[in-house]
Structure 1
Amino acid sequence: MNRRHFLTTAGFVGIAACTGCLDALRQQLGPSSAGSTQPGTPSATIYANVSLPVPRSEFRRGAAKDAIPAITAPVFAADWSSVDGVLDDDELVIGVEVGDGTRAYPLAVLNWHEVVNDDFGGPLLVTYCPLCGGGVVADRTVDGQVYTFGVSGLLWQSDLVMYDVESESLWSQLLATAIHGPSTETELTLRPSTVTTWGEWRREHPKTQVLLPPPKSETIKGWQSRDYDHDPYPGYDGSERVGVGFNQAVDDRLHPKTTVVGVTADGVARAYPLDAVEDAGVVNDTVGDLPIVVATTNAGSLVAYVRRVGGKTLNFERDGDVLVGDGSRWNLVTGTAVDGPHRGTRLAHANDRSPSFWFAWADFHPETDLFR
């Protein structure tokens, strides 16, 4: 099944959504220490005025605990030739790089399982919320202990709520923060990632490994398998409906399923819609004091990088499938200079979470600016 529509205005229906939280989230984010990936990148953010723990009354039950079975023992291969499924080049993946190694986590699997507990450059957590259309990758070590995460079946702010096996705390996926239980206020350290197509990711990383779907990979419930060639959330494409009726306050500046990449820095949040960035070709901007560049790859994926290199702020133009700046050409998918004086230099990610649907970004950033 072609899932490229994720990158335009389509969405995946969620099993439930949450309301009653927006009034408590009207103050802009403040920076925290978690989530910095490289010098010069913005840190992860947590809502300064959320009263933690979040009361149980603000969660919405969409499914039973572990009804969406998290992957706990992932298996990887060069492709899907060994499984009963098809991973087309235009299927979307979350890509992660550690040193010279790379792994791809297909949304065809994450749509059904939402959480992958991996060990790649250390204990790794790869998550995706089909309701919000957004992914978060983080270190799953908490206070020196490796945590195993599962899907609680609850939703908060229209977003996936995870739980950890060790403390039974509840975690907001997009905040990457424990919001109820013994670990409340603990933040996960975010790891950089890229959302693009399998074909584009593999072209740039020909030795990459890709996650195999269960039963090759094991889940928290043991043997589980789904029809990974099938979209589990049909009929929602292009709809303005958010969830199944709980989310009543939606920022109407954009269609709720518009794909945006969001950047936060110095108390400022800004969203960049896919169509606006495509029309611009390349966007050189500054969020707070952070100079960034935003563009789309050939496959239509949004990317955002910090355009400060060695203390110098670069201005970029687009030349076909590369960015051009300060005498070098830069790969759009990896942010790496492929020639010129900066050859081998890599731009830091400006976004610490993947692109998501507009309504989800606006829910968690109600004071966001909007690039048009």
Structure 2
Amino acid sequence: MNRRRFLAGLGVTSAVAGCLGSDPPVAGDANSSGLDGTASESADESETTGGGAFDLPIPEEELRRGAPKDAIPAITAPVFSDDWSGFDEVNVELDDSFEVVGVELDGIARAYPLAILNWHEIVNDTFDGRPVVVTYCPLCGSAVVADRLVRGEPTYFGVSGLLWMSDLVMYDDRTNSLWSQVLATAIRGELTGDTLSLLPATISTWGEWKASHPDTEALVPPPVSGTIRGRQTRQYAVNPYTSYQQSRSIGIGFNDEVDERMHPKTSVIGITADGVARAYPYDTVSNAGVVNDDVGTLPVVVAATTDGTLVAYERRVDGSVVEFERGDGVLVAAGSRWDIVTGRALDGPHEGTVLIRANDRSPMFWFAWADFNPETEIYGE
């Protein structure tokens, strides 16, 4: 089932393999139980730093232990290829139907399959010398990509094993501060309040991403790619979250309130501007073909592909606001056809022009968007 095409199901597995960890605590790991003491002690509890709608540092009691630290081993030495068949240690084929987090940066296009991210959640990468971190939280369905810099210095991020608001909590290897994945902000520790610079990313299928980026490569699963714990391997042909994605269950049971305006696992793309937050559900956008809208004073166009890719762009071309229509697998405006996945003009007077992203985070499950944007509107309601 395509994760973004929500299908209500029954029940949920008793353990979510990735965020509960597939390995026992590491021998000698001081953080194999309880909260991360180093980060907790580093936070000055007498100071409160604004974190959008949240006061920082986050109280320790709001964190939940889902797995031992590094039991979900972040990837630190990624290897890329357009074909996995040449690697004897990889026992799964790279299929066009695989969902991927696609990143295009500095002329380089890479895809990070969810089949890998479901098990590792963080990839520490470098684009032509530029440190980048690619993250994915299977519980929230959220991908966040950012510059891998902490106060100007490259750092590695790992999986703390903690959850906050059912979302991945990362740690940095310089200060051991704890970071919210969705907020891209340090929520406890020495760096509390610091934020990462976000980079655009797309959740698509390998087939669609490859068609829009012919020179792209995909992350190769460990043990070919190295992890923070050395050689590791998982059952990459298995999605441990299938039942979770189809159920009404949230996280591992620690969400007190749920916005019930939509099923919690509905896939939405969210846009914020001028104090307005609005969520665009996949089915609503898909049925409309294309959505021309304004979020505050920001003119946006939202569209979806038949494979489930959901995108949002500013609908300005050469400084002018335009109305988009839906063509045969493309968007049409201002005399040009535009690729949905990339936002790039394929022909006409604007050929080669790329639309600016209107969203700074990937599509995610409705409950996660609503948790982090409690005043959000829903397009069409």
TM-score in same-fold range (> 0.5): yes
| CA-CA distance at 1:240 after TM superposition | 0.9
| CA-CA distance at 1:164 after TM superposition | 0.6
Counterpart CA distance in 2 for 1:57 and 1:300 is 37
Corresponding residue for residue 109 of structure 2: 102
1:328 corresponds to 2:326: no
Corresponding residue for residue 56 of structure 1: 60
| CA-CA distance at 1:100 after TM superposition | 2.6
| Pairs within 5 Å for 1:300-319 | 300-319=308-327
Paired residue type of 1:295:
A
| CA-CA distance at 1:341 after TM superposition | 1.1
Whether contact under 8 Å (2:293, 2:301) holds in the other structure is yes
Paired residue type of 2:5:
L
51-60 or 230-239, which deviates more: 230-239
Paired residue type of 2:84:
W
- Local SS of the residue matching 1:89: coil
1:159 corresponds to 2:157: no
Whether contact under 8 Å (1:177, 1:185) holds in the other structure is yes
| CA-CA distance at 1:161 after TM superposition | 0.2
Whether contact under 8 Å (1:104, 1:210) holds in the other structure is yes
Match of 2:140 among 123, 132, 138: 132
Paired residue type of 1:67:
A
In the alignment, structure 2 segments of 5+ residues that lack a partner are: 21-49
Structure possessing the higher relative contact order (Cα contacts under 8 Å, 6 or more residues apart):
1
| CA-CA distance at 1:6 after TM superposition | 3.6
How many pairs align? Answer: 341
1:66 corresponds to 2:70: yes
**Residues 68-127 of structure 1 deviation map (CA, whole Å, 9 limit, x = unaligned):** 000001011112112321221111001111233210000000000000000014000000
Aligned residues with identical type, % of pairs: 60
Corresponding residue for residue 5 of structure 2: 7
Paired residue type of 1:48:
G
Counterpart CA distance in 2 for 1:47 and 1:183 is 12
Paired residue type of 1:233:
Y
Q: Work out which of the two has the higher radius of gyration on C-alpha atoms and give 1 or 2.
A: 2
Corresponding residue for residue 194 of structure 2: 186
| CA-CA distance at 1:234 after TM superposition | 3.7
1:250 corresponds to 2:258: yes
| CA-CA distance at 1:9 after TM superposition | 4.0
Distance change >3 Å, CA 315–CA 6, structure 1 → 2 = closer
RMSD: 1.6
Paired residue type of 2:70:
D
313-322 or 77-86, which deviates more: 77-86
Counterpart CA distance in 2 for 1:7 and 1:73 is 32
Counterpart CA distance in 2 for 1:154 and 1:7 is 28
Whether contact under 8 Å (1:10, 1:236) holds in the other structure is no
- Local SS of the residue matching 1:110: helix
Whether contact under 8 Å (2:165, 2:254) holds in the other structure is no
Q: TM-score by structure 1 length?
A: 0.89
Corresponding residue for residue 41 of structure 1: none
Paired residue type of 1:141:
L
Counterpart CA distance in 2 for 1:358 and 1:251 is 8
Counterpart CA distance in 1 for 2:52 and 2:114 is 31
Paired residue type of 2:102:
G
| Pairs within 5 Å for 1:1-372 | 3-9=1-7, 15=19, 47-81=51-85, 82=87, 83-121=90-128, 122-372=130-380
| CA-CA distance at 1:47 after TM superposition | 4.2
Whether contact under 8 Å (1:7, 1:301) holds in the other structure is no
Distance change >3 Å, CA 277–CA 230, structure 1 → 2 = same
Whether contact under 8 Å (1:126, 1:138) holds in the other structure is yes
Counterpart CA distance in 2 for 1:203 and 1:253 is 36
358-367 or 139-148, which deviates more: 139-148
Counterpart CA distance in 2 for 1:147 and 1:94 is 21
| CA-CA distance at 1:197 after TM superposition | 0.1
- Local SS of the residue matching 1:7: coil
Whether contact under 8 Å (1:9, 1:259) holds in the other structure is no
Whether contact under 8 Å (1:254, 1:358) holds in the other structure is yes
Counterpart CA distance in 2 for 1:9 and 1:185 is 37
In the alignment, structure 1 segments of 5+ residues that lack a partner are: 17-45
Whether contact under 8 Å (2:270, 2:359) holds in the other structure is yes
| CA-CA distance at 1:63 after TM superposition | 0.5
